[in-house]
């Protein structure tokens, strides 16, 4: 009985997770901090390296990244984590100090 | 993307306040408000900081290292700091984007360091440097394309790339193959230069999207788009050899989606010119009328762009002996004369669709119908050709998983219906035929966004005459270091040679024509097949503070089969046969471009060609093709005044080495020529006075050194004799030519 509940619970949880994923929009605009053309390259590369990301464009002026993604394969959160790992703060994820310190001098945006 | 330009003002250099080994400073804007988050860094050491809430920074001092300060929207600059100094810097805001681009960024010829193919784009500014008149003359200021004189009768200039003439170059207009089949020789003279927005030139094997025919390169002309066209444009031109041209463009915007442009071109050449006193006109008399109406539809919300274009062209030429009267002397052996009358109708439509919410995915369809009719005679030789053709191409662009991997795929269908009548010594016949081809193509592009990209294309076509065959093409690009780019390409091309249309220059001879086929697919001959291999390296550099670039190119074309046009077997004959043995074209080019001084640019190139074909009587170096060529172009522009007034000066120098002349052994002794020509040089110049953005006036000269081929027509005094030949041309026939013109435009 216990096992049955556990299984059921698991199934429910998975379904919930799946439906949560389905809410993921194919086009997302994420705030990403950076300064220059060099940052643009790094931010876009980091995002593109995430499986499921189709197309990206980071605007220096708007400090925003426009992403087209495959909602079945990735989430905006995952992309933000990848960008933060590359040293750039995003709306939801802050880069670690190490990652930030590794940035080229020209890319040391105001935190 | 916007490139930020660079200037900064160092106002005060304060005294040392802090410990040694550091530099400090404060960055403010023009209103003395601190700039927060500006980048201050050593460009070469990857060390830097951002300014704090007061716009202040502290940095380690590095001896003699340039320090760069940048902030978005402000000009950037570099200074070499002093140890222990404190700096107060005022950043100047960036000028308005448009102005910056026009004054400092725009170049007439742009070559991308990023593109995978060895391509560059000539914009309308480059076309204006030759002032005139149609696109066959547009390349005289460009080192990658050679302009050659074809014959002593029609005054036609033909272009060469990698030493090979236009049948081996795919010439397209808005990606629809245009100069082909019946229009092969004169086609480039049927597009007025003022209609052109830009020309994209690709050396070597190009993309498979436009077809399988290109071998040595591709040229694509983009015409002016109605949506961005100016309301009115007028160009008038006249020269001392009595050529007059007029171009009038009008544009009308119906609403925010529809716009239309009307282009009218007319030219006439009047007057009898025989400066070399050989009894023949140095260039034909005649006229051309050319009208085009284009419509463009744009709907950004729905992602739809569409073009509808209709065009009519009529071109008449009369050439031959000065006193030739076409009404009286046509078909007689009293006086030799020639008429080439061409009529053309083109209808085309394009529709492009970008998928909403998927900006990286698009589809496009092109459909074009073309009617071309040429009626001509050359003395007693007759040549009539009519071509009806239909071209359609469906293209789909998208990505594989992400934009690093792109692909283009599609289907194409072409239909060509030829009615061709040839009456020359040795041949009297109709060569009517219908060709059609159905093809599918796929092109994959990978770009790692930094230093490497590859374009791999493949197309498979089924052709009613050539059967099923594949056309592979491959391009690679690698940036081994900053501003250096290495490119490689390989590709195959295949085509049916229209031997008569492509070799019309020989109609104005009394040669005996012989088709020596083997029951092949066309004129009893086999299709031409060639492989092209290319290697190119470009390095951009700064030297004494000025920008420049140097490019080394090597290309080889290897023919598996070629239709050999043999004028060397016997000076009284012209043979066409399938290649038996080897035929290749090697071309090497060293190009150096350098900004000599403010507003003064130099473009220079040395070119070496090694082109040889196995013919019946041995291996022959390509005739009328210099082995060595040197090219230089100087361009100077004065600073623009507030009302836009300025001067433009342009000077082009061409040096052509020795050229082989086809055999004249069988001629009467008096008609025999040396086996090669002397080297010679050509100089062109143009001066443009721009009075305002609305009005400009230009004068120019071609062949200022007045170099002429002395006897361009063999046996000119006896044109119905077997020795008569007008195809042995290696230099200008007319001497120097001067012209003037004006341009008036409304924006």
- Cβ contact, residue pair B50, A108, below 8 Å: yes
CB B613 within 8 A of CB B564: yes
Q: A-chain residues within 8 Å CB-CB of B403?
A: 48, 54-56
Q: Are B449 and A37 within 8 A, CB to CB?
A: no
Whole-number pLDDT of residue B559: 97
Per-10-residue mean pLDDT for chain B, 747 residues long? Answer: 30 33 78 80 75 82 78 75 72 53 50 78 81 80 85 86 90 92 91 92 90 92 93 95 94 95 95 90 94 95 93 96 93 94 97 88 96 96 97 95 93 96 95 95 92 95 96 95 92 94 94 92 92 95 89 96 96 96 96 92 96 96 95 93 92 95 94 94 94 94 92 93 94 91 93
Task: Read off the tokens for B267.
Answer: 């030219």
Q: Do residues B381 and B507 touch, judged by C-beta distance below 8 A? A: yes
Nearest-angstrom CA–CA distance, B544 and B714: 53
pLDDT beneath 50: ranges in chain A: 20-21
A106·B450 Cβ contact <8 A: no
Determine the pLDDT at residue B97.
39
- Chain A interface test: which of B50, B52, B398 (most A C-beta within 10 Å): B50
The pLDDT assigned to B13 comes to 31
Half-sphere exposure of A50 (CA within 13 A, CB side): 30
CA distance A105 to chain B (A): 4
| Residue in A with minimal Cα distance to B53 | A110
Computed from CA positions of residues B158, B163, B166, B167, in that sequence, does the dihedral angle turn out positive or negative?
Answer: positive
Give residue B57's pLDDT. Answer: 84
Shortest Cα distance, chain A CAs vs residue B108, angstroms: 25
CB within 8 Å: B37 and A104 = no
Q: What secondary structure letter does DSSP report for B327?
A: H
CA distance B734 to chain A (A): 54
Task: Provide the shortest C-alpha distance from residue B12 to chain A (in Å).
Answer: 24
Note whether B384 and B377 are within 8 A (CB): no
Find, among B203, B198, B236, B231, the residue nearest to B217 by Cα. B203
Query: What does the alpha-carbon distance between residue B384 and residue B342 come to, in Å, rounded to a whole number?
Result: 10
**Rounded-to-integer distance, Cα B149 and Cα B152, Å:** 8
Whether residues A109 and B399 touch (CB distance < 8 A) is answered with: no
State whether B402 and A26 contact (CB < 8 Å): no
Cα B453 to Cα B445: distance, rounded to the nearest angstrom:
7
Contacts A56 to B, Cβ<8 Å: 403
Residue B468, CA atoms < 13 Å, CB-side half-sphere = 1
Using the structure block, give the residue that is written with the tokens 């933060």.
Answer: A84
Q: Are B113 and B100 in contact (CB under 8 A)?
A: no
Which residue in B510, B326, B523, B335 sits closest to B424, CA to CA?
B510
Radius of gyration of chain B (CA): 29
What is the pLDDT at residue B464? 95
Task: Count residue pairs from A and B with Cβ separation < 8 A.
Answer: 74
* Chain B residues with a Cβ under 8 Å from any Cβ in chain A: 1, 36-37, 39-43, 46-52, 68, 70, 72-73, 357-360, 399, 401-404, 449-450
Within B224-361, strands assigned E span 232-239, 243-253, 258-269, 285-299, 304-320, 337-354
B555: its two tokens? 């290309």
Instruction: Tell me the nearest-neighbour CA distance from B457 into chain A, angstroms.
Output: 22
A28: left (phi over 0), alpha (psi -120 to 50) or beta: beta
Task: Please give the residue of chain B at the shortest CA–CA distance from A28.
Answer: B357
Q: Do B357 and A53 touch (CB under 8 A)?
A: no
Contact yes or no for B605/B561 (Cβ under 8 A)? no
The predicted pLDDT at position A62 comes to: 81
Predicted local distance difference test score (pLDDT) of residue B364: 95
The rounded distance, in Å, linking the Cα atoms of B556 and B169 is 14
- Rounded to whole angstroms, the Cα distance separating B134 from B652 reads 18
Structural contact between residues B67 and B42, judged by C-beta atoms closer than 8 angstroms: yes
pLDDT at B7: 27
Interface predicted TM-score (ipTM)? 0.75
- Phi–psi pair at B333, nearest 5 degrees: -105, 20
Q: What is the pLDDT of residue B85?
A: 67
Which residue in chain B is spatially nearest to A49 when comparing CA positions?
B402
The shortest CB-CB distance from B357 to any of A26, A41, A107 is to A26
Measured between beta carbons, the chain A residues lying within 8 angstroms of B1 are 37, 40
Angle at A90 between CA A89 and CA A92, to 5 degrees: 120
Q: Is A56 on the interface with B (CB under 8 A)?
A: yes
How far is it, in rounded angstroms, from Cα B488 to Cα B534? 5
Output the six-digit token pair for B666: 């069988």
Strands (E), A1-111: 27-31, 53-59, 64-69
The continuous run of DSSP H or E covering B148 comes out as strand B145-149
**In the 8-state DSSP scheme, what is residue B270?**
-
Q: Which of B39, B53, B452 to mutate to test the interface with A (most CBs of A within 10 A)?
A: B39
Contacts of B672 (CB under 8 A, 6+ apart): B664, B665
Q: Do A51 and B70 touch (CB under 8 A)?
A: no
The pLDDT score that the predictor gives to residue A15 is 52
Least CB–CB distance from B41: residue in A37, A55, A106: A106
Cα B674 to Cα B665: distance, rounded to the nearest angstrom? 10
């Amino acid at each position: 009985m216990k096992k049955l509940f556990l299984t059921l619970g698991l199934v429910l949880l998975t379904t919930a997770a799946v439906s949560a994923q389905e809410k993921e929009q194919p086009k997302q605009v994420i705030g990403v901090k950076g300064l220059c053309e060099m940052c643009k390259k790094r931010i876009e590369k980091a995002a593109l390296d995430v499986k499921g990301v189709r197309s990206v464009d980071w605007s220096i002026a708007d400090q925003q990244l426009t992403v087209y993604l495959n909602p079945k394969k990735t989430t905006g959160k995952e992309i933000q984590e990848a960008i933060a790992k590359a040293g750039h703060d995003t709306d939801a994820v802050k880069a670690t100090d190490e990652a930030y310190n590794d940035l080229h001098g020209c890319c040391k945006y105001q935190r | 993307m916007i490139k930020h330009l660079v200037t900064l003002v160092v106002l005060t250099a304060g005294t040392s306040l802090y410990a040694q080994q550091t530099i400090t400073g404060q960055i403010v804007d023009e209103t003395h408000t601190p700039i927060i988050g500006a980048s201050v860094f050593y460009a070469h050491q990857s060390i830097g900081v951002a300014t704090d809430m007061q716009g202040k920074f502290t940095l380690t001092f590095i001896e003699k290292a340039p320090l760069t300060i940048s902030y978005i929207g402000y000009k950037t600059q570099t200074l070499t700091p002093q140890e222990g100094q404190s700096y107060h810097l005022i950043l100047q805001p960036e000028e308005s984007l448009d102005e910056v681009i026009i004054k400092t960024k725009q170049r007439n010829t742009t070559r991308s360091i990023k593109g995978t193919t060895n391509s560059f784009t000539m914009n309308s500014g480059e076309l204006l440097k030759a002032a005139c008149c149609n696109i066959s003359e547009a390349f005289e200021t460009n080192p990658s394309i050679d302009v050659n004189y074809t014959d002593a009768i029609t005054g036609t200039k033909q272009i060469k790339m990698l030493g090979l003439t236009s049948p081996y170059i795919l010439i397209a207009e808005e990606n629809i193959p245009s100069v082909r089949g019946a229009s092969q020789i004169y086609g480039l003279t049927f597009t007025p230069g003022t209609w052109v927005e830009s020309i994209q030139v690709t050396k070597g094997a190009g993309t498979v999207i436009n077809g399988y025919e290109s071998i040595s390169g591709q040229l694509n002309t983009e015409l002016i788009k109605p949506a961005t066209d100016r309301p009115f444009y007028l160009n008038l031109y006249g020269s001392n050899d009595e050529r007059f041209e007029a171009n009038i463009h009008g544009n009308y915007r119906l609403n925010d989606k529809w716009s239309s442009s009307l282009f009218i071109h007319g030219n006439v050449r009047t007057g009898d010119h025989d400066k070399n006193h050989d009894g023949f006109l140095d260039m034909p008399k005649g006229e051309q009328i050319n009208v085009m109406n284009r419509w463009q539809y744009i709907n950004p919300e729905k992602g739809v762009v569409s073009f509808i274009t209709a065009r009519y062209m009529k071109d008449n030429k009369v050439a031959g002996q000065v006193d030739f009267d076409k009404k009286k002397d046509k078909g007689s052996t009293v006086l030799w004369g020639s008429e080439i009358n061409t009529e053309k109708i083109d209808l085309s439509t394009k529709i492009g669709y970008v998928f909403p919410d998927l900006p990286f995915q698009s589809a496009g369809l092109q459909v074009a119908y073309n009617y071309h009719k040429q009626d001509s005679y050359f003395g007693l030789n007759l040549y009539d050709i009519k071509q009806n053709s239909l071209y359609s191409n469906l293209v789909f662009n998208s990505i594989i998983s992400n934009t690093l991997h792109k692909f283009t795929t599609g289907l194409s269908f072409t239909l060509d219906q030829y009615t061709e009548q040839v009456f020359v010594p040795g041949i009297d016949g109709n060569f009517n035929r219908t060709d059609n081809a159905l093809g599918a193509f796929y092109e994959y592009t990978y770009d790692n966004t930094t230093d490497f990209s590859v374009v791999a294309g493949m197309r498979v076509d089924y052709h009613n005459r050539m059967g099923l065959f594949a056309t592979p093409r491959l391009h690679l690009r690698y940036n081994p270091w900053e501003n250096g780019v290495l490119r490689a390409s390989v590709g195959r091309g295949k085509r049916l040679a229209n031997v008569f249309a492509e070799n019309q220059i020989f109609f104005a001879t009394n040669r005996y024509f012989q088709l020596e086929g083997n029951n092949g697919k066309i004129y009893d001959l086999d299709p031409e097949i060639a492989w092209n291999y290319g290697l190119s390296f470009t390095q951009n550099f700064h030297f004494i503070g000025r920008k420049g670039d140097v490019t080394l190119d090597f290309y080889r074309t290897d023919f598996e089969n070629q239709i050999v046009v043999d004028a060397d077997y016997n000076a009284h004959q012209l043979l066409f046969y399938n290649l038996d043995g080897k035929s290749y074209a090697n071309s090497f080019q060293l190009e150096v471009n350098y900004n000599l001084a403010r507003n003064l640019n130099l473009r220079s190139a040395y070119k070496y060609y090694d082109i040889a074909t196995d013919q019946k009587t041995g291996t022959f170096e390509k005739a009328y093709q210099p082995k060595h060529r040197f090219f230089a172009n100087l361009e100077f522009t004065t600073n623009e005044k507030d009302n836009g007034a300025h001067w433009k000066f342009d000077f082009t120098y061409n040096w052509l080495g020795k050229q082989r002349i086809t055999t004249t052994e069988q001629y009467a002794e008096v008609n025999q020529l040396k086996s090669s020509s002397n080297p010679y040089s050509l100089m062109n110049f143009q001066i443009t006075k721009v009075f305002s953005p609305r009005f400009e006036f230009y004068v120019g000269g071609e062949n200022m050194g007045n170099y002429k081929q002395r006897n361009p027509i063999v046996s000119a005094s006896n044109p119905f004799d077997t020795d008569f030949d007008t195809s042995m041309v290696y230099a200008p026939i007319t001497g120097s030519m001067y012209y003037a013109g004006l341009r008036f435009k409304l924006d």
